[in-house]
């Protein structure tokens, strides 16, 4: 086989570095709340169709050329109620979390933006729009990256250092590095530890995220029927990684949340039980992604 293959199928090859988490923690746990409501596909936002992804409306294809009021209401629940339910629970449990913030969503919800600023949570850019950036012209995506940075900086009073699109284009990582100011991005699901890659001849840090320890599974494909499924799966993942950490192989665990999904009354109990389970264990560094990135850069700089 010849040529340059663009995927890394090898990684740490079964011999990952010891991350040396603070306090010799067995595991670093990153709780992420996605704030997307108000930046999704909508003809109100200049799109030619309505949103149809990660909503309880039951639609699987977009409504073209018209508003989908049921989808809009499902998203509205996230911004009006679910966001506040999740933020209240995180405060009650004294959890340091990370916000994945869509720029347009923050601009349309100044009260949520103020709550995020007051929380002290680190905020990662999650695209100026919550859309699929495949096929979006490079110049438009470049402009959206700048708009997202400006929106987050205005909302929280400091420039973001992390990036996560979620539905990136082949250009996204290069454009993020080109923009500058970011220490890391999270558009990867391929490891249980951070790692370095090279973009435009520069070292660039990746903090992998998770689509499996994620409340999106309460909607995406329906493989999680309810809060017990979410709790049991994430609990089992935590227990395995915590045990591995005790055997000298500390790892990182990401848990993805969405206000309009886990913020519902019939689901948020699963998150509460999960936080209780995690916080009953010793050797856990429950922290934001910015702290994980800074730790990795200090302890495991690029070769």
Domain spans in the chain, listed from the N-terminal domain onward:
22-299
Classified by CATH at the fold level, domain 22-299 comes out as: TIM Barrel (3.20.20)
Q: Helix, strand, or coil here: 28?
A: strand
Angstrom CA distances, 102 to 22, 144, 148, 178, 278, stand at 30, 10, 7, 20, 28
Contact yes or no for 126/155 (Cβ under 8 A): no
User: Strand, helix or coil at 213?
Assistant: coil
What's the pTM value of the predicted model, to 2 decimals? 0.96
Going residue by residue through the chain, which has 303 residues, state the pLDDT in tens, using 9 for 90 and above.
556 888 999 999 999 999 999 999 999 999 999 999 999 999 999 999 999 988 887 777 899 999 999 999 999 999 999 999 999 999 999 999 999 999 999 999 999 999 999 999 999 999 999 999 999 999 999 999 999 999 999 999 999 999 999 999 999 999 999 999 999 999 999 999 999 999 989 999 999 999 999 999 998 667 898 999 999 999 999 999 999 999 999 999 999 999 999 999 999 999 999 999 999 999 999 999 999 999 999 999 998
Report d(CA 29, CA 97) in Å as an integer. 9
């Amino acid at each position: 086989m010849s040529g340059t293959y663009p995927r890394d199928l090898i990684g740490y090859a079964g011999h990952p570095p010891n991350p040396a988490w603070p306090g010799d923690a067995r595991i670093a746990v990153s709780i992420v709340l996605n704030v997307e409501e108000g930046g999704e596909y909508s003809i109100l936002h200049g799109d030619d169709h309505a949103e149809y992804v990660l909503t309880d409306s039951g639609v699987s294809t977009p409504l073209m050329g018209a508003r989908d009021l049921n989808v809009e209401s499902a998203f509205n629940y996230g911004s009006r109620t679910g966001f506040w339910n999740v933020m209240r629970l995180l405060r009650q449990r004294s959890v340091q979390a990370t916000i994945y913030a869509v720029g347009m969503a923050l601009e349309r919800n100044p009260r949520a933006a103020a709550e995020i600023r007051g929380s002290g949570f680190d905020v990662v850019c999650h695209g100026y729009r919550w859309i699929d950036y495949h096929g979006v012209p490079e110049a438009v995506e470049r402009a959206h990256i700048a708009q997202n940075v400006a929106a987050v900086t205005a909302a929280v009073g400091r420039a973001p250092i992390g990036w996560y699109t979620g539905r990136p284009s082949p250009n996204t990582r290069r454009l993020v590095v080109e923009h500058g100011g970011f220490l890391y991005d999270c558009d990867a699901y391929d490891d249980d530890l951070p790692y370095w890659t090279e973009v435009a001849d520069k070292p660039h840090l990746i903090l992998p995220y998770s689509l499996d320890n994620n409340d999106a599974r309460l909607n995406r494909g329906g493989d999680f029927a309810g809060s017990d499924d979410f709790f049991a799966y994430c609990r089992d993942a935590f227990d395995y990684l915590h045990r591995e950490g005790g055997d000298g192989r500390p790892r990182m665990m990401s848990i993805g949340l969405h206000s309009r999904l886990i913020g519902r009354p019939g689901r948020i109990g699963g998150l509460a039980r999960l936080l209780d389970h995690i916080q009953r264990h010793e050797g856990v560094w429950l922290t934001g992604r910015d702290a994980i990135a800074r730790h990795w850069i200090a302890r495991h700089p690029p070769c």
